[in-house]
Structure 1
């Protein structure tokens, strides 16, 4: 017979008195065995009829506490000494030490590594005084309770227990006693200096076979960076091939071959795309013709990230809200967040803590300045967090909804929808051939005097890009391109 430590009415009899064939353990929610032997014994509460595994009623786990912990069932909630949260039906206690802990905190790992931070984190029962802002949810961590703290004594990074467990930021491994993995160590540089003669440097990037020269060009051109598919002009220094039209932003060329990025729980590696000529970024859900992408190192994980999303570093200053830094949001592994800029749902967002504004990575990666043929000034990315009316779009001539992220001219008060000026596929480049389900098409600009008709949906192609197949067939979108079997 076993007695609960808080109330005499919770008296537990052994399994011989529990005849239910569908008995479920109240704590672990697993079925209890009806085989009557000591290794499978379970208990039944006479007061409420709940069933319990024998090993669930008492827990011995020295990593959490040196004494045996006993299940305590009280109607009045009280905080867990480890995390500070209240779990009235899942608390264990050591009356000898006046120590109480909820079931989830008993088996917390001692040392972990999350991709949101460069160092490992250690399980501590008391957070020390200092900068006590959780690195995941950006709210305060109570110094009277425990959490995860950086093992580097010069670093003040801390995180809540429940943030580590609840949100998709940890790979589930306890790395206590393990050596630092290769993915956590410094990696080979992607850009190497070949020679430097009279101040003119020649470089070699792992993604290209020819030598590259560092160039500074401020005049407008149509040259695109092969990694991010954005213009090379007005972006500082970039690298241009001596023998062909290959070009890379210097920032794109210096991205590490391997990294642990907060957007994914596993380390990722920079790969050269060799498939169908384009890919879909798992973060921003955008099509890209970029030469390189970051792929997860895990064999069965299909995560793939373009270099624009991989360039996100906390705190991030967005052009539309330059005075309010953004931090990575939390991930519930579901599309539950709605972007304030485009009103679309997304798993991956960044949050402006001051204004509680969430932007998805499609809006975060938008260029800050663009050129519009009907305006002499560059248009600036703008977001009105007060939700005032933003006017009407001069391209589609429709009203722009309140609180949308837009492009505007501060001199002429021109306003444009983002999709109207950039198009549906801003990172697909004209003249590039791609394969969709085995069907090859060429991406072309849709700026002619007349607009073609889509072969599949029979509508006028209105986007900035069209997809030309064999025999002069044309498609308005990637979704309209048939498979090879249907062509």
Structure 2
């Protein structure tokens, strides 16, 4: 081999000579001491290298020929200069890419920024690849901590860095398959380098961890089902199928059932009230028709005009009404047969007995009539809550738990002015876990945080901690959504409207609410008629939104009209308030005189209502 000499800045004492290095002998051992490159500190395995044998100094041929100055995408604002060793006082540095240190050998350095790269991270031992998502070649880097442009995580790992711009991704992200089969989904998932524009109308969440999908983050998705999974969550679920991605079913039966509340329920208020009023072994016997210790009459402060009489004929009455009246009359009759305390239909209760004042149309569930006058709610341990009722027929209060305006009976903390309807108060008393069909992976527990929470079901942000949560999945549902009934009806449709939950498999079209005519967020819960293929926001369904919080049909006497007025959910078309006549009441709640077609808006009715003393 022809001898070649090199004057190199890193070894000014003698010239370096390019020569062959000793080879392994027949026994596999090295004849002479293994040579280690001074520049990169790696063993020299090449057949030839630059050497200074008197000084025991060696360089790879590639290290000896490194450029003295480079521009690197990790630090593109200034050029980096190659140094024999770092010039800091300690004589060492920490590599800004891989974190290796203390490093005392060849270093690419920016004196202005004190930015340093060892030669392996800067330029050596790097393979290049080309990805469809990026215009420039990507060069392999040694393991280091950095912010990945694909998964948005700061994890130390092998990586690829763009040779032109500061685009940097983990090696495992760069080598992801374009199509994967995820065990939680029936269809293949396709890799997208950002959230497709067709799905940016609403915020999207990962269906494994329930965290937000960032628009610029890589994601696996199924378009027709609007099913999205972070690329890191797909890896997790494939490596550990027994944890995040497995649907865990909790059978509600036997002794295990007694410590689990199952939702949604068509009779949620009664079940929740019964659960905290009675012991577990008494809940099942609460509706025993053989019980005889129920009083025939009760007197309540909320209805002081007449006693409430025990009745068992509500179902027969409902059947008679159903067979002899029109659809509109049936709807009106159903509105009358509503408990004045919890504002839930009495007909839906398993126990057909109730207390009633038929003359006034005042009804109370047996469970509601047994509510304690004082309650200690765990979410507000500072003060007790006292059972309250509105002494007037007009007027609503805002429940601080479900955030709904209602005329239900409620519990109030006087010092704090905090009012909670009895349905939410009952939900707050749950000490066991909740199994909800909207989140079958895990059981839910009472939400403990008072921070701002985004409800997974409706998308609204609320504060106060009145809800249920699965902390592992970042799944939160407010009391209002958790207590939605599983099904409801509409007067124009004979089919049931079912409460459904995302992802909505095999429904690629957008969802539009047929009442408000706006697009429904496909990440939220909705009511849907499968036969007719139409959908509704829960807040747009009168039987869910209006009749679940306000009892209509109550009678009211006012001081400027001779007939009693009835509280109706919808005033007739082209109707006006008889007091503030410039106020249109079309299809809005109002107080109506059927004989005179006279209306009052709720505000005027409140001002003109006659109290018991005035009557």
Name the TM-score, length of structure 1 as normaliser: 0.47
| Structure having the larger proportion of residues in helix | 2
TM-score by length of 2: 0.38
- Specify the structure having the higher radius of gyration (Cα): 2
